[in-house]
Chains A and B, each alone.
Chain A
Amino acid sequence: MKPFFIRLLFAEWLKLSRSAALWLTLAGAAIIPVIKMIEAFVRPENFAQHTAHPAFWPAYYNECWQFMSMFLLPLGIILIVCMMFQTEHSHGGWRQMHWQPVPEAALFLGKLGMVVLLSLIFWVVFTAGIWISAMLPAALMGGAGFPQGSLFTGSYFVRSALLMLAAWPVISLQFVLGMMLRNFLLPAGIGIALFVSALIAIQWQYGAFLPYTWPALEFIQQKVNAAKYYHLHWLPYAYSALFLAAGYVWYRYRAIKD
């Protein structure tokens, strides 16, 4: 018999593996690389020029991550987390879960585990997509040279990990809202409103205090090597911990458990 937490994660994975949330994660991770690949085929001369540059990879992944961090990642998180919880809300899944002899902390962690897993899947697919979107056109277009250097450097791993971690305030608040609110439109609407507010507030001097600005702020800091918010680097992690702790207290002590 598998250990308890592995069984719990496997049960969650069984549900998630057939859900729209997984497909949206895969599609969301693939969309920018696919667009970049189409661009390479449409404008092969530009593509060849870029790949010939010795610093092709850092410039290329920055370009891909720019769209992702500032726009698609927060929006994708909002939709995916809402969809993940909608599966439970719309099918009475919570009720079914809550009459199982499973501690509520384990159920909470199981769901959180799936969000971590989705994040990892997203990161792997996006990273592989960035690499394939440059290598495949190069391989298929005989004239264009393969990019120099490698995408898979320590710098890439550290920077992309920081970008993913900066998205955790969005992930954790959407996680809590998705769990609390049955109607899909409410957590999605609140999330989109907070995201739009963050986009507007990003230039504001106190913008860093808004949790949804952090995916974009982290990217801007990395790109321009700005140290403006360096002293607040702990803030997204503090927000995430706060949201998750508050969410767990609500989940554990709510009056109605279905």
Chain B
Amino acid sequence: MQYAVETNGLTHHFGRGVPIPDRLDMRVPAGSIYGFLGQNGAGKTTVLRLLLGLLHMHSGNIRVLGHDLAQGRLPILRHTGALIESPAFYARLTAVENLRVLQQWRGVPQSRITHVLELTGLADTGNKKLSQFSLGMKQRLGIAAALLHSPQLLILDEPTNGLDPGGMIALRELLLRLNREQGITLIVSSHLLGEIEKLATHAGVLHQGRLLFQGPVSELQQRRIQQATAETSSNEQALRIAVNAGFDATLQGGIIHINSCSRQQLALLNAQFHAAGLEVYHLSAAAGDLESVFLQLTHSQV
């Protein structure tokens, strides 16, 4: 598989503190949308800053778009767009003027300014100074700036910060379109699991500087905790059968609740109920959300 971003043993220390990230082996497949998940302080922003060469790594190596970061940042930065932490712009300038600063640095045609402003819905901001922009507008301008030079890789750190639900949907659609139509690889860090689930093709779960999971989102979804409920002609006997079979089951309000149960295990349990002569009135499985997978991954490390 070809990777847009590949790190091996990436480690960084702030002072003499705990290493964050700690021997990180990150693999972002080319053309993917990589959801970078983690709680606050997990080290997501640090990793993204390391990828851009804004921080010095203490050990390991980083390859971005086929270029080794240790050999120089410029070939990487030429094809990478980024929005790290809050958008960085000049309050006294308009959106167009702010983008003109970047356009001069990057040497891209002026027509790109109009294009990215239209793309992010900021084309009609006119002479409005950035100091009069809402947080959501600044966030969209940050994305416009990151797209100005038609990057191959887009690194967005918490891009939905400050966006209302409508803005979040519009941003998601924009990112999906950029990925599908232009083949841009995206790394999107977030603590909004629902957003990542709707957007990303791949995910990495970072906790205290270490990757607890990395792979396709579908694989992460398969780890969802199944919860099942059952009602039989003898719930007490059914509970005994379930507990003896090793399930975490309880009887509450005349309903048996079974935790951490896959669909296959549930089918086997149903067969055991029948074999014991029980009549099964109700048996259903409900998948937990990605949040429960995330919590399971991170709590198992505490």
Chain A residues packing against B (C-beta within 8 Å):
1, 4, 7-8, 10-11, 14-15, 18-19, 87, 91-93, 95-103, 255-258
A15 adjacent to B77 (CB under 8 Å): no
6 A-B residue pairs with Cβ-Cβ distance under 8 Å, sorted by A, are: A7-B104, A11-B101, A92-B85, A99-B52, A102-B74, A255-B56
A258 adjacent to B49 (CB under 8 Å): yes
A257 adjacent to B86 (CB under 8 Å): no
B90 adjacent to A99 (CB under 8 Å): no
Query: In whole Å, how far is B224's beta carbon from the nearest beta carbon of chain A?
Result: 36
A257 to B101, CA, bound (A): 19
A8 adjacent to B105 (CB under 8 Å): yes
Contact with A along B62-91 (1 / 0, CB 8 A): 000000000001110110101011111111
B90 adjacent to A15 (CB under 8 Å): yes
Q: Is the CB of B44 closer than 8 A to any CB of chain A?
A: no
A95 to B53, CA, bound (A): 11
**B97 contacts which chain A residues (CB < 8 A)?**
14, 18
**A19 contacts which chain B residues (CB < 8 A)?**
92
Report if A14-B80 is in contact (Cβ < 8 Å); known contacts: A19-B92, A93-B90, A99-B52.
no
Contact of A98 among B54, B89, B93, B107 (CB under 8 A): B54
**A7 contacts which chain B residues (CB < 8 A)?**
104-105, 107
Q: Which 8 residue pairs of A and B lie closest in terms of their CB atoms, listed nearest first? A: A92-B88, A11-B104, A96-B88, A18-B92, A101-B77, A101-B78, A7-B104, A100-B105
Contact of A10 among B52, B78, B104, B106 (CB under 8 A): B104
Contact of B93 among A18, A92, A257 (CB under 8 A): A18
Report if A99-B102 is in contact (Cβ < 8 Å); known contacts: A15-B93, A92-B86, A92-B88.
no
Closest to B105 in A: A100
A257 adjacent to B85 (CB under 8 Å): no
Closest to B73 in A: A101
**B119 contacts which chain A residues (CB < 8 A)?**
none
Closest to B77 in A: A101
A91 to B138, CA, bound (A): 12
**A95 contacts which chain B residues (CB < 8 A)?**
54, 84-85, 88
A11 to B99, CA, bound (A): 10
Contact of B82 among A4, A87, A97, A99 (CB under 8 A): A99
A4 adjacent to B107 (CB under 8 Å): yes
A189 to B80, CA, bound (A): 39
Question: Which parts of B121-135 form the interface with A (CB within 8 Å)?
Answer: none
B54 adjacent to A101 (CB under 8 Å): no
B80, B90, B91, B107, most chain A CB atoms within 10 A: B90
Report if A99-B80 is in contact (Cβ < 8 Å); known contacts: A18-B92, A255-B56.
yes
A91 to B133, CA, bound (A): 14
B74 adjacent to A101 (CB under 8 Å): yes
A8 to B82, CA, bound (A): 20
B80, B85, B92, B105, most chain A CB atoms within 10 A: B105
Q: Is the CB of B27 closer than 8 A to any CB of chain A?
A: no
Question: Which parts of B31-62 form the interface with A (CB within 8 Å)?
Answer: 49, 52-56
Q: Is the CB of B100 closer than 8 A to any CB of chain A?
A: yes
B84 adjacent to A18 (CB under 8 Å): no
Given contacts A92-B86, A256-B55, 4 further A-B contacts (CB under 8 A): A18-B92, A18-B97, A95-B88, A101-B74
B54 adjacent to A14 (CB under 8 Å): no
Query: In whole Å, how far is B258's beta carbon from the nearest beta carbon of chain A?
Result: 50
B89 adjacent to A96 (CB under 8 Å): yes
Contact of B90 among A4, A10, A18, A256 (CB under 8 A): A18
**B102 contacts which chain A residues (CB < 8 A)?**
11, 96, 100
A14 adjacent to B104 (CB under 8 Å): yes
Contact of B105 among A11, A256, A257, A258 (CB under 8 A): A11
A101 adjacent to B88 (CB under 8 Å): no
Closest to A107 in B: B105
A91 to B87, CA, bound (A): 8
A256 adjacent to B104 (CB under 8 Å): no
Query: In whole Å, how far is A171's beta carbon from the nearest beta carbon of chain B?
Result: 23
B88 adjacent to A91 (CB under 8 Å): yes
Question: Which parts of B91-119 form the interface with A (CB within 8 Å)?
Answer: 91-93, 97, 100-102, 104-107
Contact with A along B232-268 (1 / 0, CB 8 A): 0000000000000000000000000000000000000
Contact of B54 among A10, A15, A93, A257 (CB under 8 A): A257
**A99 contacts which chain B residues (CB < 8 A)?**
52, 54, 77, 80, 82, 84
A7 to B110, CA, bound (A): 13
B107 adjacent to A93 (CB under 8 Å): no
A1 adjacent to B89 (CB under 8 Å): no
A250 to B294, CA, bound (A): 42
A258 adjacent to B104 (CB under 8 Å): no
Query: In whole Å, how far is B17's beta carbon from the nearest beta carbon of chain A?
Result: 14
Closest to B75 in A: A101
**B54 contacts which chain A residues (CB < 8 A)?**
95, 98-99, 256-258
A257 to B49, CA, bound (A): 9
**B75 contacts which chain A residues (CB < 8 A)?**
101
**B85 contacts which chain A residues (CB < 8 A)?**
92, 95
